[in-house]
Amino acid sequence: MTRDINLPNKTESTANQWREEIISLPHWLKRPIGKASELSKVQRIIKQRQIHTICEEGRCPNRAECYARSTATFLLMGQTCTRSCAFCQVDKGRSPMSLDPDEPQKVAEAVKLLALKYVVLTSVARDDLADGGANWFVKTMTTVRSHNPDTLIEVLTPDFFSGQGLEKAQKERVETVVRAKPACYNHNLETVKRLQGPVRRGAKYDRSLNVLRWVKEFDSTIPTKSGLMLGLGETEAEVIELMQDLRAINCDRLTIGQYMRPSLAHLPVQKYWHPEEFEKLAEIARNMGFARVRSGPLVRSSYHAAD
């Protein structure tokens, strides 16, 4: 059985094509949706406060497991991203809504109601904002801590490259977030260097490496983390090169997962990597010196983040 999915300009042929893609997924990418109770409680609290999680917006396959483990990833600054990455399901647009002044308080309340011990704060890219949203991360972190002093906060930020000043301003925005002392600073490279252009429109490989490099310059005690998707046409050698580039800037943690096409409007999957290939890459990463590695078909940026 397949679930009905909203498709752009949906026709019978595109609907059939999409169903075929779902049916042809290898067995290791199919998993139960999870207990309804574990999903409904979080969904109710999120909906009541009109806030968002990337777990829901991105239809993450692990959301029930993460909710049961008392972790969640909140999506800050609205649902509309000013970038147009070709892999991402989040809505895109040049004129996002104004920031909700109550969002930090609402997120803090949700964290308390859900008794979350570890929270990941991420956001859409907001190139329309003067600081790219850096101070909004800090405001939300401060508010969450005021209500939940024992909750650890990881951040998964965009590159903050927008507006005036370019690299100098970008570095200052990263420093702003670092000074708020997150438990971990995550910024995803997403794919290998060769594929950055078609996959991460508006982002650059070296620019993202700079984010993680600067975190260590500002505070070497904060663990840094990055994530990678496989299945977009990369080679094993290119993946290893990416891991070497991350270790060269002392990145501590790495997640590797399988890209799964959100809709027919997104990039097609070029390859479904086998679980054994993920295990091989994990072993290579550990031998390189990564302190924490999560590598598997269903691994996502915040998967088992509390560990």
5 has pLDDT over 60 = no
- Quick one: CA dihedral 184, 266, 125, 171, positive or negative? positive
Return the amino acid letter for 264. Answer: L
Residue-range domain boundaries for the chain: 37-295
Q: Name the pLDDT band for 148 (thresholds 50, 70, 90).
A: very high
Considering the domain delimited by 37-295, tell me its CATH architecture.
Alpha-Beta Barrel (3.20)
pLDDT of 218-246, one tens digit each?
999 999 999 999 999 999 999 999 999 99
Rounded to whole angstroms, the Cα distance separating 258 from 45 reads 29
- Strand bridging mode 52-53 / 71-76: antiparallel
Question: Quick one: pLDDT at residue 151?
Answer: 94
In which residue are the tokens 């496989």 written?
230
Residue 103 has pLDDT above 80, yes or no: yes
Name the residue type at position 242: L
173 HSE (CA, 13 A, CB side): 27
Residue 144: pLDDT over 50 = yes
- pLDDT (average), residues 10-33: 64
In terms of pLDDT, which residue wins out, 25 or 250? 250
Strand runs (DSSP E) across 39-151, as ranges?
A: 52-53, 71-76, 80-81, 91-92, 118-123
Confidence of residue 112 (pLDDT cuts 50, 70, 90): very high
Total-model pTM: 0.87
Residue partners of 20: CB distance under 8 A and separation at least 6: none
